[in-house]
Structure 1
Amino acid sequence: MTIFLGLGLAGVALLALSLLFGNLLEGLFDLGGLLDGWLSLPVVAGFVSMLGFTGTIVLGTTGLGAGAAAGWLTWKLSRALMRDQTAATPRGDDLVGAAGSVITAIPAQGYGEVLVRVAGQPVKLAAKSKVPVMRGTETWVEAALSSTSVAVRPVER
């Protein structure tokens, strides 16, 4: 409780100093405009003082019960978030067999671009082919050459 009361009093003192010597103090701690607006000295001083006085009031009226309850809720929430699992991240081999369409023509010797759907998301990749492929042609991915390029072949119907 003493720490919170000290924070409250220090915040009030800093607020008074910022009102009396605001331009001088902000000039000493000038970080290229970083301390303007939301991080100005009066705002920070008001936040620190309210944190201290609110902490003192809560601790004085509820004792350790409120802190224990907040700690327990924080522990339960962090456990729930740690158990949250996501799907596996797609790898280069997951591209093999994916359908796509050419968005930049692919020359016989060089790279073009294809738009492929990976895990439901459109991904633009550099593409290489053994034969020239025109823009708009539907393709299949034959191999993943790197994380950003694939070998494709045109779909024959």
Structure 2
Amino acid sequence: METLFLSCLVGGILFAIISVLLGDWISASLDGALDFLSVEGYSLFRPTVIASWVTIFGGAGLLLHEYTELGNIVVLILTFLIASALALGLYFAYIRPMERSENSVGFSIRELEGLIGEVLVPIPAQGFGEVLIQVGAARSNYIASSFYGTDIPSEAKIIVVDVDASEGVLFVSKFDI
């Protein structure tokens, strides 16, 4: 029994170390040959969850075997339950919320209202020019028209007052501090 638990503990620890230090390199060099290990649809059976279950199984088994007077069958059952409970806890407390979080640099043109930018191409009173707006870490150019019908010179600071999303035009006003 002790050999089983020790093997699970050491194997889980080695898996964690190798995946952290060499995971990207191994994945790139094998060119996706191990993608079959990821079970699609059931993220509860991801390699991370399974490896944590194996590691917890080994550690809990060693502790129960060494420090209790329980029989082997009882130790196996308790170890299985402990590993399952902690792996489920890891999944629901950490992995699942991380899967549902979104990291996106995308935005809607409607979100530009209220942002401050700079005029690149002068905006005539009755026409279009070009402005530079920073959204997050990205800077993008947009077609702009004067909201109040006044000329706005190049390099002037502007604020986006309204957006015509269908035409992709920003209506801007000179921003005086």
Q: TM-score, normalised by structure 2?
A: 0.42
Bigger-Rg structure (1/2)? 1
